[in-house]
Amino acid sequence: MSPLIKSILSTRAGFGLTILRIVVGIIFAAHGSQKLFGWFGGYGLAGTAQWMESIGLAPGTLMALLSGGTEFFAGLALIIGLLARPAALGLTILSLVAIFSVHIHNGLFMANNGYEFALALLGGSLAVLLEGAGKLSADRAIAH
């Protein structure tokens, strides 16, 4: 196995990060399914695209597809722990865009549509990016 692939799949983390990775993955996958498919009360791709356009993220359909696809598929990757670091990188970037394009002007608290929830997900994504997928992961099984 190449050193680059081994470094992407390796993990120093234990069971705690495994739990964090799975919980954060479930949240992201659920949010992505709202954007892409309209599941769990979401608006689906067309509704999300219209909203993206309304906040200046154009073209709306492409932005909705990129954000929903990243949330959904990277969330699934986190749940199973497969290519967790690349998935976490995508989710980190997505969280930063959400914080600075939607939530930052509303302050910290969720009650005002603030950035606290996105910040918590950013923290979880960064932890996986830095530490790897944890003991119970497809990445760890492949790397060993």
- pLDDT tens column, 38-76: 999 999 999 999 999 999 999 999 999 999 999 999 999
- pLDDT tens column, 112-129: 999 999 999 999 999 999
- pLDDT tens column, 23-33: 999 999 999 99
What pLDDT is recorded for position 7?
A: 79
The C-alpha atoms of residue 90 and residue 94 are separated, in whole angstroms, by: 6
Residue 103 is classified by DSSP as I
CA dihedral 109, 115, 118, 121 (to 10 degrees): -60
Q: The whole model's pTM is what?
A: 0.92
- Domain residues of the chain, as ranges? 3-31+67-143
